[in-house]
Amino acid sequence: MDRRPRRAAATLAPLLGLVAALLTGCALDDERADFSYLNLEPETIDPGRVSGEAGGRIALNVFEGLTYRHYATLEIRPGMARRWEVSPDGRTYVFHLRPAQWSDGTPVSSRDFQYAWTRLLDPRTGAKYANILHPLENARAFNAGEIDDPGALGMDCPDDSTFVVRLTAPVAYFLDLCAFYPLLPVPRWVVEARGDAWIRPDTIVSNGAYVVEDWQINRRIRLRRNPRYWNVESVQLELVDAVPGDYLNGNFNRYMSGVLDWIDSSGIPLSIVDTLKDRPDFHTSPHFNTFFYRFNVTRPPLDDVRVRRALYHAVDPVPIVEHVLRAGQPPAHSLVPPGLPGYEEVRLEGFQPERARELLAEAGYPNGVGFPEVTLLFNTSEAHKQVAEVIQQQWKRVLGIQVRLQNQEWKVFMNTVRSLDYDIGRGGWIGDYLDPNTFLDCFVSGSGNNRTGFASASYDSLIQRAAVTMNRTERMALLRRCEEIVTREACIILPVYYYVVTNMFDATRWGGLRPNLINIVDLKSVYRKDRPS
Amino acid sequence: MIRFVLRRLLQSVPLLAGIVVVSFLFMRLAPGGPFDEERALDPVVRANLEARYGLDRPLLEQLWLYVKGVARGDLGPSFKYGGWQVREIIAQALPVSLMVGLVALASSLLIGIPLGVVGALRHNQWPDYAAMSLALVGICVPNFVLGPLLIILFVFQLGWLPVGGFGSFEQLLLPGLTLGAIRGAYIARLMRAGLLEIIGQDFVRTARAKGLSERVVVAKHALRLAILPVVSYLGPAIASILVGSVVVERIFSIPGLGSFFVNSALNRDYTLAMGTVLLYSGMLIGLNLLVDVLYGVLDPRVELE
C-alpha cells in the first residue's frame, strides 16, 4: 500500500550518513594543549603583513627578531642578535647574529633579515607597517616604487652573521622597532616557493620558540615548541592553543569553565567587572592606550581655542571611570600615558568649572548663550555611548550648552572623522613602540592620524628636531614640549582616561604571565607553577 | 522531473548573477573601506594595498573581474584575512555550520515527534497540555535567551556539557538543542495534528478491532502516515537552521560561517561578504528546489511539470 514512509526513510538515510561522515571528518585528535589563551583571529601571522595585536602576538612567538622585549620589565633584550654596535651619529647599526637555525634546520643568516626588510618595503607586498622602516636609507622611495633596486636600501650583509643597517637620520627607538613584529625575519625559500600561503601550518618555517602546528580559521592556532629554537631549554610549554572568539560573553564562559587559561579584555564583560575585580585571578595594569576626544579645529565654534579649553575644563573624568568603566581606568591628565621610563608626561589641570565658564564667556558665549549646536560623534559601542552621555550632561550642567550625540558604525565613523566631517569625535591611540613619539607624531600637519585639521609648522619642526636629537634628555624635553602644544596650548584633543589591560588567569597555577603596557604574551616565559617542569 | 530540475537550475543563474551585482554595489556604496582603521595607512602603503587588491581600477572593471572570477569558481582573496582565499575560509567554516545544523535538525525531530505523539494520544488530557505548553514556550523563547539559559544549567550548574567550541560531539549538543528547539516545537504541533487526524480514520479502528496492541497500532500503522507533514516541513526547517545559525554560533563560540557572514560586512571585507551572500543564496535556492522535488516524490498529487 504506502511506500511513502519508506521513501521518507530513504531520503533521511543519506542525511544521517552525512552526519556520520561529517562527525568523523571533523573530529579532532584532541590532545589537550598545555596552555590555551584567548587571541582574536589574526588577519595574518606573516610578519611582513601583520598589523594588529592578534597577529602580532602569534608572530612574536613564532619568529624571533634581532631583539625582543621582556614581558614584565619591557626592556629590550638580545634576540637573534647576540650584540650590536651603534655609530656615534646614531645612524649605523651593526648587529652580530648568534648561531641559530630555522625550524627546517637551515641556519639563520643576516640575509634573512635583509630579505624580510626588503620584502616589507616592496610595494607588491602591500605591508601596512612598511612606514616603520622608512627611516632606512632610500626606503621611502623604494616603498613608493620610485626606486627599483633593493640594493640601494641601507642594509648590508658582510657575512652570514653580521647585519649592517644605515638610517637617514638617527631613530632613538630603533632597537624597540627591531623587537616589533614587522621587522621579524622570514624564510625566503619558503615565501618564494609558496607565495601568500607560506604561513600555513604545512609549509611555514620559523625561527622562534614555537612552530605553527595547526591553524583552523576562527577555531584555533596550535603552536608546538620548536626543538630547533636556540634557547629551547628555557621554553617550558610544549603545546599551546591560541583560541579566537569575537563574542565577549562566550569567551568569558570558556574561561570560567576551564577551556581557556588566560583571557584579556576581549573576554571580560563590562557589566560584571565590579564582581570580577575582587577575584584573585583578575589582574590589571596600565595600557599604553589613551581614550580622548578630538576637536575639528576647522569648524566654528571649535576653531576658537577658548571654546576647546572651556569644553576640556568642563569635563570631570572621575565619575566616568568610577561609575561607567569601573575596571580601574585612571582619569587622564595627558595624551601620552604615564609609565614611560625617562619621560614625564604633561599634567593638565583637569576639571575646573569656573575656568571653563570664564573661557566660554571670553569666547562670546556667556552661560552658553548663543552657542551653536555641535555634535559629539562616536563609533557604536555601549561603553562609548555611556561615556558620551556623561560628558554631554557635564557640558550642559557646567557650561549650559546642548551637545548632540551621534554614533556611527566603525567604518563609517572612520570615514567621517578622516574627512573632517564632524565637530567632536571619539579617538583612541595605542602606542606602537615605547616612546612618546608614537602618540605625538600623529598630530604632525597632514598626518593621516591627525584628523583634527590642526597644522602647525612649529609643531612639525619640533617633532623633526626630536627625531634627530641623540641626547635622550634633550629629546624627551622636545617631545614634552610637543605634548604641551597639542594638549594645554592648542587643546586639539581632550584626554578622558587611560585604558587598562585586564587579564584573567590563575596566578597560583601560571608563572611568566603579567598584564603589561603593550599587552604582549611571551609564551617562552610561561610555565606551570603547580607541576614540576 | 529532470526537465523540471534543469529548468529551475537555469532560472537560478540570472538570479544569482543579480545577487552578485547587487551585493557588489551595496558593499561599495557603504562608506569606509577595508583599509580604514584607527591607525591611518601611509599614503604610499595605502596605494600599494589598493593596487594589490585591484581597488585602484574603475568600479565597473572591478565588478567585471569579480563576476568573471565567480564564473570560474574563484571568489578571490579575503581582504581581512591576508593569505586566505574566500573559497578556503568557506571550505573550513561551512562543514562546521552544517554539523551544527544537522545536530539541530536531529534534536528538533527527537523533541518534536515524541511530544507530538504524546499530545495526540493523550488528547485533551494533562500530558497533551504539558506537551503543547512546552511547544509554545519553545516557539516563544528566542535562541539568544535559550542558549545562555542552557549554558547556565548544563555547564555551570550540572557540569554535564562543555560550554562551546568545536571538536567533539558533546560540544554540538547545546548549540544543536538551542537551534533545534523552535523547530522541534513546530514539529510537535505538526505531529500532534497529523496523528490526531490519522487516529480517527477507519483503518486504525480496524487495526484496533483486530486486537492489536495500542503500541503496534500507533507505531506500525498510524505514525507512518502522520509523519508526512513533518517530512515536508524539513526543507524549510533546514534552510532556516542553516541561515539562522549566526546567533547560536556566537553564543557557543562555534567557528562556522555565521560569524564570517556578519563580520565580513562590518570589516568591509568585500570578497568574503559577497562570497558568503552568494553561498547562502545558492543554498536557499537549492533547498527550495529540493523541497519542491520532495513534494513531488512524497505526494502523488503534486505534479512537477
Residues 85-124 of B with CB under 8 A from A: 88-89, 92-93, 95-96, 98-99, 102-103, 105-106
Distance of alpha carbon A375 from alpha carbon A299, whole angstroms = 11
Query: How is the beta sheet containing A374-379 ordered, strand by strand?
Result: A403-408, A374-379, A424-430, A282-295, A493-504
Q: What is the pLDDT of residue B52?
A: 84
Grid cell 542525511 is found at: A15
Q: What's the pLDDT score for residue A12?
A: 53
Do A479 and A346 contact (CB within 8 A), yes or no? no
- Give how far the C-alpha of residue A497 lies from the chain's centroid of Cα atoms, to the nearest Å: 17
CA distances from B18 to B15, B22, B68, B157, B276 (A): 5, 6, 14, 50, 15
Q: Which residues of A9-33 are buried (b: 16+ CB within 10 A; e: fewer)?
A: eebeeeeeeebeebeeebeeeeeeb
Q: What confidence tens digit (pLDDT) does each residue in B63-73 have? A: 999 999 988 98
- pLDDT tens for residues B10-26? 998 899 999 999 999 99
pLDDT of residue A130: 87
Task: Please report the DSSP string for A159-200 in residue order.
Answer: ETTEEEEEBSS--TTHHHHHTSGGG----HHHHHHHGGGGGS
Kindly state whether B54 is in contact with chain A, defined as any CB-CB distance less than 8 angstroms: no
Interface contact B227-A416, CB threshold 8 A: no
pLDDT of the residue at A4: 46
Whole-angstrom Cα distance, residue A141 to residue A184?
22
Contact A248, B250 (CB under 8 A): no
Q: Could you tell me if residue B129 is left (phi over 0), alpha (psi between -120 and 50 degrees) or otherwise beta?
A: alpha
Determine the Cα–Cα distance for residues A61 and B95; give it in Å rounded to an integer: 30
pLDDT of residue A417: 92
Whether residues A219 and B166 touch (CB distance < 8 A) is answered with: yes
Residues A457/A258, Cβ–Cβ less than 8 Å: no
For residue B259, the chain A residues in CB contact (below 8 A) are 218, 246
H/E stretch holding B31 reads: none
- Centre a 10 Å sphere on the Cβ of residue B243 and count the other Cβ atoms it contains: 18
- Stretches where chain A sits below pLDDT 50 are 1-5, 8
Count of alpha carbons within 13 angstroms of residue A290, beta-carbon side: 24
- Which pLDDT band, with edges at 50, 70 and 90, does B304 fall under? low
Angle between helices A353-362 and A305-313 (to 10 degrees): 160
Q: Provide the sign of the torsion angle of the four alpha carbons A152, A154, A159, A160, taken in this order.
A: negative
Contacts of A253 in chain B (CB under 8 A): 151, 155, 163-164
**CA–CA distance, B159 with B147 (Å, rounded to integer):** 15
User: What integer is the mean pLDDT of B256-264?
Assistant: 87
Specify the pLDDT at position A2.
Answer: 44
**Inter-helix orientation angle B270-298/B59-71, to 10°:** 40
B290 → chain A, closest CA residue: A11
Rounded average pLDDT over B141-153 = 91
Indicate if the pLDDT at residue B202 is higher than 70: yes
The confidence score (pLDDT) of residue A1 equals 38
Cβ(B35)–Cβ(B50) below 8 Å: yes
CB B233 within 8 A of CB B109: no
> Given this model, what pLDDT does residue B293 score?
81
Q: What is the Cα–Cα distance from A490 to B232, expressed in whole angstroms? A: 70
Q: Centre a 10 Å sphere on the Cβ of residue A139 and count the other Cβ atoms it contains.
A: 25
Rounded distance between C-alpha atoms, residue A409 and residue B267, angstroms: 10
**Which of A1, A2, A3, A4 has the highest number of chain B CBs within 10 A, making it the mutation to test binding with B?**
A4
Positive or negative CA dihedral for A452, A295, A355, A482? Answer: negative
What is the 3 state secondary structure string of A378-418? EECCHHHHHHHHHHHHHHHHHHCCCEEEEEECHHHHHHHHH
Question: Is B251 in Cβ contact with A246 (below 8 Å)?
Answer: no
Closest-CA distance of chain B to residue A135, Å: 14
Give one DSSP letter per residue of A99-119, joined into a string.
Answer: P-B-TTSPBP-HHHHHHHHHH
Q: Mean pLDDT across the stretch B121-144?
A: 88
Task: Express each pLDDT in A77-99 by its tens digit.
Answer: 999 999 999 999 889 999 999 99
Question: Are B51 and A123 a contacting pair, CB within 8 Å?
Answer: yes
pLDDT at A16: 57
Residues of B (151-170) whose Cβ lies below 8 Å from A: 151, 155-156, 162-169
Average pLDDT for chain B: 86
Q: Is the pTM of this model over 0.90?
A: no
The pLDDT of residue A251 is 93
